[in-house]
Amino acid sequence: MKIYIDGNYYSKEQAKISVFDHGLLYGDGIFEGIRIYNKHVFKLKEHLLRLYKSAKAINLNIPLTIEEMEKTVNEVVRINKKEDGYIRLIITRGRGDLGIDPGKCLAPSVIIIASDIELYPKEYYTNGIKIITSSLRRLPADGLDPRIKSLNYLNNILAKIEAKNSGCLEAVMLNKQGFVTECTGDNIFIIKDQEIITPQLCEGILDGITRQTIFEFGKQLGMLVRQSRLSQYDLYNADECFLTGSGAEIIPVVEIDGRKVGNGKPGNWTKTLIKIFNEKKY
């Protein structure tokens, strides 16, 4: 494995960053998780657009232009001879001192890792997963906008711990007003009366790239895909439910807080969407 750090390639053992990097000290940085399918980087432009928007939002200047970054990511995939896999693209604030001041950081660091990921064991894609509602609220956009894909994932990690402690693999998080936002690393969708529904961005969620593909697929299926306010009641009474993410892809949800979703099995529309995704991703 050859890992890219600031223009150089290192082996897995030699790839290191400073303990003074504010990405480590304060979670001061941003990232993207991107899939590689058949040597092709899936939705790379969309991921890079989001990365540069995250950078703008945290007042960080990425030292490469978006075109240079696109070339570099493709180069990392080529050098690693990756056919299928997963890229982690990280920009940290860089090396500073022990104070929080980002102005004291020398320069942002760019790290690109081309590896693999399996978020959920394979059988869950056919059987579906059980989720809980986390007792922790998703961070409000007036505190830290969840549209920023930052290196600060503690809010999500604490909800993930809660899910695992309850014997589930994922947790859905509500916002301050009690409306559904997203899961710890995935966006959430329900299907009700032939409509595909997902929370609006203004509820405080990441603008997921896989989420965007569901809008395209819905159109192809002649189904309405709607963004709407959702409560726990809507989740419990959904016909179908599924989660989307670059790592997770599309995974059916069959139980929420002990309530069966539909008949407790992955729904037919969800299965169709998974099938379309698996055909289109190549």
Is there binding between residue 29 and ligand PMP (CB under 6 A)? Answer: no
Is there binding between residue 174 and ligand PMP (CB under 6 A)? Answer: no
Q: Do residues 34 and 53 touch, judged by C-beta distance below 8 A?
A: no
User: Alpha helices of 182-281 — where are they, by DSSP H?
Assistant: 209-221, 232-236, 268-280
- The CA-atom distances, in angstroms, between 281 and each of 43, 86, 157, 236 are 9, 13, 28, 31
Considering only 28, 162, 170, 186, the residue that binds ligand PMP (CB under 6 A) is: 186
CA angle 22, 202, 25 (to 5 degrees): 10
Considering only 77, 175, 211, 252, the residue that binds ligand PMP (CB under 6 A) is: 211
Q: How far is the CB of 108 from ligand PMP (least distance, A)?
A: 21
Is there binding between residue 170 and ligand PMP (CB under 6 A)? Answer: no
Considering only 54, 80, 109, 246, the residue that binds ligand PMP (CB under 6 A) is: 246
> For residues 208 and 262, which CB has a smaller minimum distance to ligand PMP in the complex?
208
149 labelled catalytic: yes
Going by C-alpha positions, the residue among 265, 101, 242 that lies closest to residue 172 is: 242
Query: Residues in the chain, how many?
Result: 282
Q: How far is the CB of 90 from ligand PMP (least distance, A)?
A: 13
Q: Do residues 31 and 247 touch, judged by C-beta distance below 8 A?
A: no
Q: Quick one: which segment of 93-101, 125-133, 209-217, 272-280 binds ligand PMP (CB under 6 A)?
A: 209-217
User: Quick count: other Cβ atoms within 10 Å of Cβ 236?
Assistant: 16
Q: Do residues 181 and 201 touch, judged by C-beta distance below 8 A?
A: no
* Longest alpha-carbon distance in the chain: 56
Give the chain's radius of gyration (CA, Å): 19
> For residues 43 and 130, which CB has a smaller minimum distance to ligand PMP in the complex?
43
Considering only 210, 235, 252, 261, the residue that binds ligand PMP (CB under 6 A) is: 210
Q: Tokens at residue 180, please? A: 């559904």
> For residues 105 and 250, which CB has a smaller minimum distance to ligand PMP in the complex?
250
User: Quick count: other Cβ atoms within 10 Å of Cβ 251?
Assistant: 25
Q: Quick one: which segment of 10-18, 91-99, 206-214, 256-264 binds ligand PMP (CB under 6 A)?
A: 206-214
Site size toward ligand PMP, by CB under 6 A:
15
DSSP assignment letter at 19: T
> For residues 105 and 119, which CB has a smaller minimum distance to ligand PMP in the complex?
119
> How many Å apart are CA 28 and CA 98, to the nearest integer?
13
Q: Quick one: which segment of 17-25, 99-107, 162-170, 185-193 binds ligand PMP (CB under 6 A)?
A: 185-193
Q: Quick one: which segment of 55-63, 161-169, 178-186, 273-281 binds ligand PMP (CB under 6 A)?
A: 178-186
User: Quick count: other Cβ atoms within 10 Å of Cβ 13?
Assistant: 8
The catalytic position among 149, 192, 265, 281 is: 149
Considering only 21, 28, 170, 182, the residue that binds ligand PMP (CB under 6 A) is: 182
Neighbouring residues of 121: CB distance < 8 A, sequence distance ≥ 6: none
Q: Tokens at residue 17, please? A: 């960053």
Q: How far is the CB of 88 from ligand PMP (least distance, A)?
A: 11
By the criterion CB under 6 A, which residues form the site for ligand PMP? 33, 156, 182, 185-187, 206, 208-211, 244-247
Positions annotated as catalytic residues are: 149
